[in-house]
Homo-oligomer: A and B are copies of this chain.
Amino acid sequence: MTPDEFRRAGHALVEWIADYRERLARGDLPVQSTVRPGDLVRRLPTTAPERGEPFEAILRDLDALILPGITHWQHPRFFGYFPSAASLSSLLGDMVSTGLGVVGLTWQASPALTELEQVTTDWLRDLLGLPAIFSGVIQDTASAATFIALVSARERTTQYGSARDGLQGAGPPLVVYASTQAHSSVEKAALLAGIGRNHVRAIPVDTEYRLSVPALESAIAQDRAAGLRPCAVVATSGTTATTAMDPIAAIAAVARREELWLHVDGAMGGSAMLLPECRHYWAGVEDADSIVVNPHKWMTVAFDCSVYLVRDSEHLVRVMSTNPSYLQTPVDAQVRNYRDWGIALGRRFRALKLWMTLRDQGVEAIRERLRRDVANARQLAAQVDATPPWRCLAPVTLQTVCVRHEPPGLEGEELDRHTLRWVQAINDSGSAYLTPAVIDGRWMARVSIGIELTEAAHVQSLWQTMRDAAVASAGAA
């Protein structure tokens, strides 16, 4: 494709994307895709084309084949999972990144890629109120960041065991701790790192779903008594089910005393620390060894942009570095080589989208939007609480409301079926998208607010939809 052909196709796609976002704003697309498993596979050819096709044919298929298979994450009535808001400002940064087509293997391989990442992650660190001892690097996802944290912990506890026998030596088994509400990526990371499920402890939580510090202390004591070696604890700022905030200061005190690595999973909750009024939620965070915050969730930087902040970057580099001859350059001693800050050797120029988002929007506008979402969540929670048999199941700390409709007489598995039925009815209707989840052994519905287009009116319309769907489901029960 020549630059001129790209001009023609690129301009058409800019219009296509703008039109798409306008359609979302008008709300005239079903939120959840209505295709059935295999529909797209069946409609696509079984082999790649031998000859190139006109761009118009591809654009037609985008509308006819791809769009029906999209669940619209940027739809104003998308309330599923956690928001992954992808602002158009960040899209511009991503276009430049791919347009330049550079790969950050080393500083020399594109100095601006490294230095803009250094500067923008410093900006973010300061905006979140973290001390300057932390340095940042952009990873793809919090799953990778948490894995890197646990490997770093493993290597600190074993005094760089990787350089010798790895985990295949004689030392006592390492143990990792996180609450029962921690994200599934914590256990996955521990298993990838070779820790083994027998050495991952799910620590009970208090009534507000925060890690119980006495339970943590007692698990550590028990493991020490059994000859095991406590290694790391993961505190969550914003759990997936309810956005609970683990008590970091108390956990940090335990970590310091017991010489555990403290990793703070602020993938969701970290962005809230842009708001001074939320800072109390992570009091003590300055004692963490590592923190992950995902600007690709609530801060509207298009996926993927997960920022890993680390206290001791020299330790990280020692754990992660490889230095084959073909990657050495004359300036290595003076620069940051981010390949030694993560798993991947090649790296996209992701800082551009973080930079463009912050510059185009400005921090104050981002803060205002976060406050809008918190207010909308609180209003919904107040309405739920005021409307029995609806019930909020957890405090609304950020922008997620956990609800259940509990008609008298419906209990246990019958109640579960009712919950899943009305949630699925909403999702299948295309009018909104919610994620159900289990809390205390029973299903509930999560309403997770945070897409750029979502205003109070959309949340209010959801509330009406929820009431209608629950009444219909209760009638069907």
On whether A66 and B303 interact (CB within 8 A), knowing A48-B358, A50-B362, A194-B193, the answer reads: no
- Among A85-93, A283-291, A407-415, A454-462, the one that faces the other chain is A85-93
- A98 x B86 contact (CB < 8 A): yes
On whether A80 and B95 interact (CB within 8 A), knowing A199-B168, A360-B1, A436-B326, the answer reads: no
Q: Which of A43-76 contact B (CB under 8 A)?
A: 44, 46-53, 55, 57-58, 62, 65-74
On whether A40 and B141 interact (CB within 8 A), knowing A199-B165, A324-B240, A363-B48, the answer reads: no
Q: Which residues of B contact A70 (CB under 8 A)?
A: 100, 102, 110-113
CB closest chain-B residue, reference A346: B141
Taken together as a complex, chains A and B put the C-alpha atoms of A101 and B436 apart, in Å, by 22
Taken together as a complex, chains A and B put the C-alpha atoms of A15 and B92 apart, in Å, by 13
A268 nearest CB across to chain B (Å): 12
- B343 x A108 contact (CB < 8 A): no
- B94 x A94 contact (CB < 8 A): yes
A39 CB within 8 Å of chain B: yes
On whether A168 and B167 interact (CB within 8 A), knowing A115-B69, A140-B140, A192-B151, the answer reads: yes
- A73 x B103 contact (CB < 8 A): yes
A475 CB within 8 Å of chain B: no
A133 CB within 8 Å of chain B: no
Q: How many residues of A contact B (CB 8 A)?
A: 162
A310 CB within 8 Å of chain B: no
Q: What does the 1/0 interface line of A182-222 toward B look like (CB < 8 Å)?
A: 01110110111111111100000000000000000000000
Pick the contact of A69: B40, B110, B346 (CB < 8 A). Answer: B110
- A446 x B326 contact (CB < 8 A): yes
On whether A20 and B191 interact (CB within 8 A), knowing A88-B5, A198-B164, the answer reads: no
Taken together as a complex, chains A and B put the C-alpha atoms of A120 and B163 apart, in Å, by 40
- A166 x B167 contact (CB < 8 A): yes
CB closest chain-B residue, reference A342: B143
Pick the contact of A41: B48, B71, B109, B118 (CB < 8 A). Answer: B118
CB closest chain-B residue, reference A184: B322
A119 CB within 8 Å of chain B: yes
Q: Which residues of B contact A6 (CB under 8 A)?
A: 14, 17-18, 21, 88, 91-92
A396 CB within 8 Å of chain B: no
Taken together as a complex, chains A and B put the C-alpha atoms of A120 and B65 apart, in Å, by 14
Q: Which of A101-129 contact B (CB under 8 A)?
A: 101-103, 105, 107-113, 115-116, 118-120, 122-124, 126-127
A241 CB within 8 Å of chain B: yes
- A81 x B105 contact (CB < 8 A): yes
- B101 x A345 contact (CB < 8 A): no
A83 nearest CB across to chain B (Å): 10
- A101 x B37 contact (CB < 8 A): no
Taken together as a complex, chains A and B put the C-alpha atoms of A164 and B68 apart, in Å, by 43
Q: Which residues of B contact A141 (CB under 8 A)?
A: 343-346
Q: Which residues of B contact A446 (CB under 8 A)?
A: 326
Pick the contact of A33: B111, B334, B437 (CB < 8 A). Answer: B111
Taken together as a complex, chains A and B put the C-alpha atoms of A90 and B116 apart, in Å, by 24
Taken together as a complex, chains A and B put the C-alpha atoms of A446 and B109 apart, in Å, by 15
- A325 x B443 contact (CB < 8 A): yes
Taken together as a complex, chains A and B put the C-alpha atoms of A3 and B14 apart, in Å, by 9
A364 CB within 8 Å of chain B: yes
- A20 x B100 contact (CB < 8 A): yes
A260 CB within 8 Å of chain B: no
Q: Which residues of B contact A4 (CB under 8 A)?
A: 18
CB closest chain-B residue, reference A448: B326
A356 CB within 8 Å of chain B: yes
Pick the contact of A165: B9, B98, B122, B198 (CB < 8 A). Answer: B198
A472 CB within 8 Å of chain B: no
- B111 x A55 contact (CB < 8 A): no
Instruction: Give 12 CB contacts A-B under 8 Å.
Output: A16-B99, A32-B108, A39-B111, A58-B356, A66-B116, A67-B112, A143-B345, A147-B343, A166-B196, A167-B196, A194-B195, A241-B326
Q: Which of A305-333 contact B (CB under 8 A)?
A: 320, 322-327, 330-331
On whether A334 and B37 interact (CB within 8 A), knowing A98-B94, A359-B53, A363-B48, the answer reads: yes
